[in-house]
Amino acid sequence: MALLENLVLVFVAGLITALATGLGALPFFIIDDISDRWNVVLWGVASGIMVSASVFGLIFEGAAAGTLPAVGIGMLAGVVLVVVAHEVIEDYEPDPGAYAEADFKKLLLILGILTVHSFPEGVAVGVSFAELNLPGLQDGISFLGFGVPVVAVFITVAIAIHNVPEGVAISIPLRAMNVSEPKMVWWAVFSSLPQPIGAVIAFAFVRYAREFLPYGYGFAAGAMIFLVATEFIPEALELGEHVDGGGRLELVSGVALGFAVMVPLAFI
């Protein structure tokens, strides 16, 4: 099978995982107005989703692919990314239109970090296809004339499933900024577009991708966790000022729900 056809198949697999992120925005087509109390819960859910995905997905996978120090170095780089991005966006003079300037900057930061973090997941998809159409493939299935490794099917499906709650996490701040539902779907998918790109690059240079994969996973995890700590939680607590008890019960409940959604998926 020609290299180009293999690359196309890997790109389509990565694109499927990206499109799955858009599914997370669909519930907001039937939800109109959200009270401060429920906004606090949803910010908590988003936080729980992202932290649990980082710890039980990215960090665990990074440690399995390499060493914990490598993951730690990647996490530190991810934190630096958020700090630098924050400084760049703070210095940026936006033309927000219908959005308040502060909300527009928050939107840029959240979408930017989530877009960057999706690249290592695409790399994981590409790496899982490493034995695509290789002679003597043991654990594989036949699909449209391709010999596809079973692990590639598993990783593609698993990341697609993980991307659905990430789409919810992305849609929550967009809903708070009164972004339309179709645009929420678009931005959710947009945040995962690096996945098919990362998949193709990793497949083409799979020997090198395996070596750098733990750093990539750590990078994504560090960026996501720091984003939750510096943006999601403070936003929830700010909204909670108008809720009985400061919204802390709602926030904790939301975080717990986010973990309950993501932790089982991490062990699929």
CA distance 222 to 51: 10
Output the pLDDT for position 190: 87
CA atoms within 13 A on the CB side of 121: 33
Output the pLDDT for position 223: 84
Distance of CA 208 to CAs 13, 71, 256, Å?
A: 20, 16, 37
Find out whether 167 and 188 touch, Cβ atoms under 8 Å.
yes
Low-confidence ranges of the chain (pLDDT < 70): 1, 32-34, 88-111, 113-117, 134-140, 207-210, 265-268
CA distance 87 to 160: 32
List the one residue out of 222, 228, 206 whose CA is nearest residue 45: 228
Would the pTM of this model clear 0.75, i.e. be above it?
no
CA distance 206 to 34: 45
Output the pLDDT for position 45: 85
User: Side chain identity at 16, as an amino acid letter?
Assistant: I
CA atoms within 13 A on the CB side of 239: 21
In the numeric block, which tokens belong to residue 194?
């690096």
How do residues 198-239 score in pLDDT, each as one tens digit? 888 888 877 666 678 788 888 878 888 888 888 788 888 888
CA distance 245 to 224: 27
Output the pLDDT for position 243: 84
Output the pLDDT for position 137: 64
